[in-house]
Amino acid sequence: MDIVDLFKKGGPAMWPLLALSILSLSVIFERLWFWLRVLNQEKEIVDRVVDTARTDWIIAANIARQATNQPIGRFLYAPLSLPKSDAETFRLALEATAEDELAGMRRGEKLLEAVIALAPLLGLLGTVLGLIHSLRAIRIGDLGTESTAGVTTGIGEALIATATGLIVAIISLAFYRLFQGLVVNQVKIFRRAGNDMELLYRQSPPDYTKMTPENIVPPVTIIGDSPQDNLNSPRKKGKSRFSETPEPSPESDFSEPKDIE
């Protein structure tokens, strides 16, 4: 029995189940691709920015700005992009950016929740409709005779919808829990990185008279078949794109700080 035959025997409830399965798979594949890109360079970005901030905030801001295509890069660059701040403003910038980035990481969860709730119910509805159709053909005088064999076959086919709904819901639930676990792990990473940055700021605040637009280099743009993939795949070039950062010119000294663009 092939899949098309099973789909036809499942009844009308199979069509909404098919739509839910397509929606669920699209969210799952999009989120898997998103998390693969995030986890690929996240640790490298955090280590580079935090380690560099211990000695030079300007270079740390350059590294964070070049990594703004990643959530952790935008998180670390948010307080460094301020023209001037104190410890409280520095912390608030980290917290506000963390909330926005974590909310973006939860994208698609509501759709998966809807699929998990609706798929079993639609499968049960398809089974009930199949049973009604099968039992309608039973006559009291035919009980115990061979004429009821077709009814039992129809009842078995009606259960196909329930099985399909459960399969769709189980797969969606498994990936939903996986993505939730990844978000929880990101909360820990953001909190640890933010605490390290705030501690470094309190120990040795940056010199805002030197953090000018001329010293903060723009993000690197690499032209290729897929710019996003090029930015996220430094290993193909044999060297991390964070390995070399232009040193600030010692001759650049301004009497008044300017806004960092």
- Give every CB contact of residue 141 below 8 A, 6+ residues apart in sequence: none
What is the C-alpha end-to-end distance of the chain, expressed in Å?
A: 63
Question: Is 258 part of a structural domain of the chain?
Answer: no
Residue type for 189, please? I
Question: Is 42 part of a structural domain of the chain?
Answer: yes
Taking the C-alpha atoms of residue 136 and residue 134, their distance in angstroms, rounded to an integer, is 5
Taking the C-alpha atoms of residue 105 and residue 177, their distance in angstroms, rounded to an integer, is 13
pLDDT at position 147: 52
Q: Which domain holds residue 54?
A: 10-235
Question: Is 244 part of a structural domain of the chain?
Answer: no
pLDDT tens for the chain, 261 residues: list them: 577 888 888 888 899 999 999 999 999 999 999 999 999 989 999 999 999 999 999 999 999 999 999 999 999 999 998 888 788 999 999 999 999 999 999 999 999 999 999 999 999 998 888 888 777 766 655 555 555 555 566 677 778 899 999 999 999 999 999 999 999 999 999 999 999 999 999 988 877 666 655 555 555 443 344 434 444 443 344 444 444 444 444 444 434 444 443
Question: Is 4 part of a structural domain of the chain?
Answer: no
pLDDT at position 210: 62
pLDDT at position 153: 60
pLDDT at position 231: 40
**Total number of domains constituting the chain:** 1
pLDDT at position 122: 94
pLDDT at position 15: 92
Question: Is 145 part of a structural domain of the chain?
Answer: yes
Question: Is 253 part of a structural domain of the chain?
Answer: no
Taking the C-alpha atoms of residue 60 and residue 70, their distance in angstroms, rounded to an integer, is 15
pLDDT at position 108: 92
Question: Is 52 part of a structural domain of the chain?
Answer: yes
Taking the mean position of all CA atoms in its chain, how far away is CA 74? 15
Tokens of 205: 């605040």
Rounded to two decimals, the pTM is 0.73
pLDDT at position 3: 79
Question: Is 18 part of a structural domain of the chain?
Answer: yes
